[in-house]
Structure 1
Amino acid sequence: MSSEYRIDLVVLQGTPFCNLNCTYCDLSRESRRTRILMAPELIERSFREIFESPFLGDTLTVIWHSGEPLTLPIAYYDDAIGLILAIRTACGRDDIDVRFDIQTNGVLIDEAWCAFFVRHAAHLDLGMSCDGPAGMHDAFRRNWSGRASHAAVVRAFDLLAAHGIAPKVIAVVTDRTLDDPDAFFEFFWERRAQIRGFHFNALADGGAAADPALNYDTSDRERYRSFYRRLIHLATSHAGHDDAFEIGNLTHGLRRILAAGDADEPEAQATAPLQSLNIDANGFVTSFYAGLAPDAFPERYEGGVTLGNILDTTLQEIAGSPKLSSIARDFERSRAACAAACPYFGVCPGGFELTKLARHGDFDGSETPECAIHVKALTDALLDDLESHAADSARHRVSA
């Protein structure tokens, strides 16, 4: 068991149930129809283990995710936040700065929820999912009866803004987004005063969706590069009007390019054991990636990637478990293969290890469609922009 592990993020699945039936959801249809909740006893056991462990730094983020959190009562979160903070004090760990986060589809936000967000504003952040204009959003984000959700999400933006609450936004990129990047950008630009941050995602697994509009492979790399280039152009051309509007992917990608070769490798951080500790509504613990099903990859790891159930396995036992060591060795093997073969390794944020296993059946390869789309195409687009600015600067110096 190693005390070198550090828990920075705890992802809690308050419930797997969701009021929407999004086409691309990572959770199974069955789990999203299951009305269970993480019991207070499970929260108490989890955080006693966490705060009594040697694995904490100065800060800890606790996020409710994987399922729709707002399908549970407001009182559930009032009680849960109070309980977690009380356990921190009881364990003598008030030196740790604890922040909370809720990731929601926004459909259920009303005045009562706004009052809750305001009440906890000092230590609670809010994230919302929205895929852009109605045509992009409603194609894949509908409820179980097939009704569109975009109008409700826009109402939520307006209601939150009226209460001074600005959420972070995550948008999923699909074929519809690629076809009209201008409309995608303008939707969020027009709402820039209502949001605190904006991040877009291509699906984590580009070959798993039943709908072809959600899938991609390496042959789509140039298409995504063009999409990213257009977003960069739009963001740059609008920057003078509001420097505060930032697209997280572009900013983070540029930082990785500028920091390439530094000893503090983001790829290594992304797959550090226990850095992200995920606890589902039944108490099963996984690490590395939020939303990872505990029974995933049973052919590689006996019983799947779950590291145990926190109700009957201590965090110390999880940290010292042969399975965690085995997964960590596999991930290190994966990183070594990428470091040896991939020229983009120095700018890769990581997180493709299990995708590589699913695609290739092992950890020895380097490129997958996911890293080609998420990392290589984005890096190429950012380098295109940097080279363009350098060329313009050179021409200006010559003409002067």
Structure 2
Amino acid sequence: MTAPSPRARLARTSSLVLLQPTPLCNLDCRYCYLPARGLARVMSDEVADAVAQTVGAWSEQHPVTVLWHGGEPLAAGVSRLTALLDRFPPGRGHPVRHAVQTNATLVDEAWCRLFRGRGIEVSVSVDGPDPGPGAGGGRVDRGGRDATGRTLRGVGLLKEHGIAFGAIAVVSDPTPRKAAELHRWFTELGCRVLGVNLVERKGLNTRAVHDDENVADFWAALAACGRADPRMRLRDVEHVRRYVRAELAGTAGQWAEQPVDPLPMVTWDGQVVPVGPDLAGFSSPRHGPFTIGDVREHGLAARLARAQETPWVAEALAGIDACRAVCDLFAYCRGGQVANKYFETGRLDVTETVFCRNSRQLLMEGLMRDAERSAGKARGR
């Protein structure tokens, strides 16, 4: 009899740590899920020090990236974010790198000097061309005005300073035409890598995309655009292709047996969210706040070491085990997204979600369609 797969367990370290220097955001995007984006608070040196101690220790084993995430990280101000960056070591044997996810509306000369001087990787949140007056775009400020123009001014400054940037676009109308439009626009903008997030039910946002045929064809068209013009990398397409190569090489099964990468999020006030970083700031009627405690009390490594003793984390890991038991693509998706499970169903131990279908299963289907169409064209020559 084959031995059962081991129970899902968290890895002891992570190559990526998310930090929230402030929950504040200067925009009010219509699909935003964040619960406290009007709260003007900033992370203290003490919180950063507690995280930096663990990050430094982990860098003895492997490179670590610290991703400053919001809210809008730049809303913390250049001086405060610089002070937080100063708390982190350069790395002990392996580098500690820094990255920022920003809407770029606050980018100015001072920010560009900081990014360039510290080698900070920049990813810009922008959804594509300005929809124009009255078009109802989703990325707006608190007065309901589209923010795309201000984002593009910030991108222009990044380019003037020679700072490479990636982008994340939120898409509410996935169609083949939309895929071609996005690929063309972001390539011409000079984006080095594009990630696409379909609108999802999460946090304060209750809408999601429900259109299987168009979603699959959207992903197929995006993959086709990437093959025709490979100047810009496509995050989601590359993820699938890495998995397919591993399957062909017979190594994908090893992915399924790896511990769960915790991707820990530490909020501005020191609360540690070990899995499902988008749960930060939320509470469950059954479990209470989605946190395993304050990083200042025991440090990040010690908090993670005992995370599975927290009931909501144990339930999330049970959900990963449930996915392992029923999903043929488990090695690819590794048990889905914890936050989406909760916000779609109210539980953490469920399996398939709308997010899983749109951004994993139909993404895979789309790339298979693109491969079949490409092979058909090759045979017809």
- What range is the shorter-chain TM-score in? 0.7 to 0.9
* 1: CA distance, partners of 2:276 / 2:236: 18
**Alignment correspondent of 1:235:** 226
* 2: CA distance, partners of 1:80 / 1:59: 19
Aligned residues: 369
> Which residue of the other structure, out of 329, 332, 338, is the alignment partner of 1:353?
338
**Alignment correspondent of 1:34:** 39
* 2: CA distance, partners of 1:49 / 1:64: 16
Displacement of 1:372 in angstroms is 1.0
Q: 1:246 to 1:6 in 2, by over 3 A?
A: same
Q: Say if 1:125 and 1:167, in contact at 8 Å, map to a contact too.
A: yes
Q: Say if 1:270 and 1:349, in contact at 8 Å, map to a contact too.
A: no
Unpaired stretches in structure 2, ≥5 consecutive residues? 1-8
> Which residue of the other structure, out of 195, 206, 209, is the alignment partner of 1:216?
209
**Alignment correspondent of 1:43:** 48
**Alignment correspondent of 1:107:** 105
Q: Where do residues 66-81 of structure 1 align in structure 2 (5 Å cutoff)? A: 66-81=70-85
Q: 1:71 to 1:361 in 2, by over 3 A?
A: closer
Displacement of 1:151 in angstroms is 0.8
Displacement of 1:104 in angstroms is 0.7
* 2: CA distance, partners of 1:277 / 1:364: 19
Q: Say if 2:174 and 2:214, in contact at 8 Å, map to a contact too.
A: no
**Alignment correspondent of 1:258:** 245
Q: 1:120 to 1:263 in 2, by over 3 A?
A: same
- What's the secondary structure of 1:343's corresponding residue? coil
Displacement of 1:155 in angstroms is 1.4
Q: 1:107 to 1:316 in 2, by over 3 A?
A: closer
Displacement of 1:377 in angstroms is 0.9
Q: Deviations over 1:293-330 (max 9, x none)?
A: 2443341x3x3320101122344542343654645543
**Alignment correspondent of 2:295:** 310
* 2: CA distance, partners of 1:344 / 1:4: 21
Q: Deviations over 1:6-33 (max 9, x none)?
A: 12222111000111111122212xx211
> Which residue of the other structure, out of 349, 353, 357, is the alignment partner of 1:372?
357
**Alignment correspondent of 1:247:** 234
Q: 1:205 to 1:39 in 2, by over 3 A?
A: same
**Alignment correspondent of 1:64:** 68
* 2: CA distance, partners of 1:60 / 1:278: 14
Q: Deviations over 1:82-136 (max 9, x none)?
A: 2212xx6xxxx62131000111100011122112222112xx2111111001119
* 2: CA distance, partners of 1:352 / 1:98: 26
Q: 1:55 to 1:7 in 2, by over 3 A?
A: farther
Q: 1:315 to 1:203 in 2, by over 3 A?
A: same
**Alignment correspondent of 1:292:** 279
Q: Say if 1:270 and 1:351, in contact at 8 Å, map to a contact too.
A: no
Question: What is the identity, as a one-letter code, of the residue corresponding to 2:224?
Answer: H
Q: 1:267 to 1:104 in 2, by over 3 A?
A: farther
> Which residue of the other structure, out of 3, 16, 31, is the alignment partner of 1:9?
16
**Alignment correspondent of 1:125:** 121
Displacement of 1:201 in angstroms is 0.9
Q: 1:280 to 1:327 in 2, by over 3 A?
A: same
Q: Say if 1:206 and 1:216, in contact at 8 Å, map to a contact too.
A: no
**Alignment correspondent of 2:3:** none
Q: Say if 2:201 and 2:343, in contact at 8 Å, map to a contact too.
A: no
Question: What is the identity, as a one-letter code, of the residue corresponding to 1:131?
Answer: D
Displacement of 1:59 in angstroms is 0.9
Q: Deviations over 1:27-69 (max 9, x none)?
A: 12xx2111110011221133234435x7963211111102111
Displacement of 1:225 in angstroms is 0.7
Q: 1:202 to 1:71 in 2, by over 3 A?
A: same
Q: 1:117 to 1:231 in 2, by over 3 A?
A: same
**Alignment correspondent of 1:279:** 266
Unpaired stretches in structure 1, ≥5 consecutive residues? none
* 1: CA distance, partners of 2:205 / 2:54: 37
- What's the secondary structure of 2:292's corresponding residue? coil
- What's the secondary structure of 1:106's corresponding residue? coil
Q: Say if 1:208 and 1:215, in contact at 8 Å, map to a contact too.
A: no
Question: What is the identity, as a one-letter code, of the residue corresponding to 1:25?
Answer: C
**Alignment correspondent of 2:321:** 336
Question: What is the identity, as a one-letter code, of the residue corresponding to 1:247?
Answer: L
Q: 1:267 to 1:222 in 2, by over 3 A?
A: farther
Displacement of 1:389 in angstroms is 3.1
- What's the secondary structure of 1:351's corresponding residue? coil
Q: 1:329 to 1:394 in 2, by over 3 A?
A: farther
* 1: CA distance, partners of 2:151 / 2:13: 36
- What's the secondary structure of 2:283's corresponding residue? coil
Normalised TM-score (structure 1): 0.82
Once the two structures are aligned, what percentage of the paired residues are identical?
27
Q: Deviations over 1:226-277 (max 9, x none)?
A: 111222232233x2xxx332222112112212223525655666943xx312
* 2: CA distance, partners of 1:364 / 1:80: 36
Q: Where do residues 383-398 of structure 1 align in structure 2 (5 Å cutoff)? A: 383-395=368-380
